[in-house]
Amino acid sequence: MELYKDILIRLLENEHIKITFENLDINFSQVFELECYKALNEIKTIVSNDGLDDTECFQRIEEIICLFEKMGIECGNRHDFG
């Protein structure tokens, strides 16, 4: 099946697709800005936690990775410590 998938991807990779939602009224710029602000605020809270010593830095990074994953942003397998 993998070969079929590769062939299909190659056939379709240069095709143009147009998807419309007739009743959707969203300002994507504002949505992205709000989500980015919320993420940055949470990251700032995580790294500003002076209650942790430097040996717990790993935990800070893990919290940030988990935040990205919660938002649907993949960080690659390198950070998959769970």
Tell me which residue of 22, 4, 60, 64 sits closest to 39, measured CA to CA.
64
Asked whether residue 6 is domain-assigned, the answer is no
Is 2 part of a structural domain of the chain?
Answer: no
- pLDDT value of position 79: 56
Per-residue confidence (pLDDT) for residue 69, from 0 to 100 = 81
pLDDT tens column, 3-60:
888 888 888 888 988 888 888 888 888 888 898 888 888 888 877 777 777 767 777 7
Q: Give the model's pLDDT for residue 78.
A: 58
Does some domain include residue 30?
Answer: yes
Neighbouring CB atoms inside 10 A of 46's CB total 17
User: What pLDDT score was predicted for residue 49?
Assistant: 74
Residue 82, pLDDT score: 52
Number of domains in the chain: 1
d(CA 36, CA 34): 5
Give the range of the structural domain holding residue 34, as residue numbers without chain letter. 25-82
